[in-house]
Amino acid sequence: MDHSADAQRTDLMTITRFVLNEQSKHPDSRGDFSILLSHIVLGCKFVCSAVSKAGLAKLIGLAGDTNVQGEEQKKLDVLSNDVFVKALVSSGRTSILVSEEDEQATIVEPSKRGKYCVVFDPLDGSSNIDCGVSIGTIFGIYMLKDEHEPTLQDVLQPGKNMLAAGYCMYGSSCTLVISTGNGVNGFTLDPSLGEFILTHPDIKIPKKGKIYSVNEGNAKNWDAATTKYVEKCKFPKDGSSPKSLRYIGSVLYEVFPMSFLLEQAGGQAFTGKQRALDLVPNKLHERSPIFLGSFDDVEDIKALYAAQSQG
């Protein structure tokens, strides 16, 4: 055995160590946020394990229900939802939970309440399991403004009020990407240790991208600005190379968490009318158009919308 190599592995930046380091920067912190994140991480590990053996455990079949978006729920969706609800409630740090799989918000019983609200999609893109495509969990965390009986208004806040956001992707590897408002960091699950290790520190999106991602099947429903932008990606008139197309409909559900991560990484999120994080939702499962991408590319989209409104 190579004992020296094994010893080196104890000097890894695990997500627990990373979160505690961040906590130490806030002397007044009581560790509540760190405890909440540790429960989210546990939920991600559990779902990762369930996803990897879904076929063997006959978890791929339909559960016979539909979620609030009208999609057929799969058994794994239901399991993942239960996992995260239980993990978040048992943390003792949450007051209200909003899941894509549940029509109503979950109000935590008084004895287990804390000061945070969590919005999440426990397993986005689960219809892709059968074809081996990545699927993921998305989450966003808000803080209650003061101590009171939690209500829907606590989660009907603009995305800019979020304290943290992230997603966990279950694919060829299990990757957790998270931001607490101070940049974006990526962690990969080491199965031999059962720990998420920092593998992608301080993630930045390039100023201009080489790839566009869009569901071409919806082209007949696009507005003029979107149509023009996609055309520009395929047939640039400035002599540059066309962008490559890459599209997988996973990890799309939560506009706010993904917008939060994009901005923290140096990109932009735009609805076609305004900055996505400035949107104030009126209901739990409200939908919105969204453009997520490199700063300059979203600037191009904004220009097309500005020209459309003037025309």
Q: How far, in Å, are 3, 12, 54, 160 from residue 181 at the CA level?
A: 39, 23, 34, 10
The rounded distance, in Å, linking the Cα atoms of 270 and 225 is 13
Given a cut of 70, the residues of the chain with pLDDT beneath it are 1-9, 54-74, 130, 252-253, 311
pLDDT given for residue 71 in this prediction: 53
Say if domain 211-309 classifies as CATH 3.40.50.2000: no
For the chain, domain boundaries? 15-200, 211-309
| HSE toward the beta carbon, residue 88, CA cutoff 13 A | 27
pLDDT of residue 70: 56
Enter the pTM of the model.
Answer: 0.89
What residues have CB less than 8 Å from 196, skipping those under 6 apart?
14, 15, 41, 44, 174, 176, 187, 188, 189, 190
Query: What kind and span of H or E run contains 119?
Result: strand 113-124
Write down the architecture of domain 15-200 according to CATH: 2-Layer Sandwich (3.30)
Give Cα 150 to chain centroid, integer Å.
23
Predicted local distance difference test score (pLDDT) of residue 44: 97
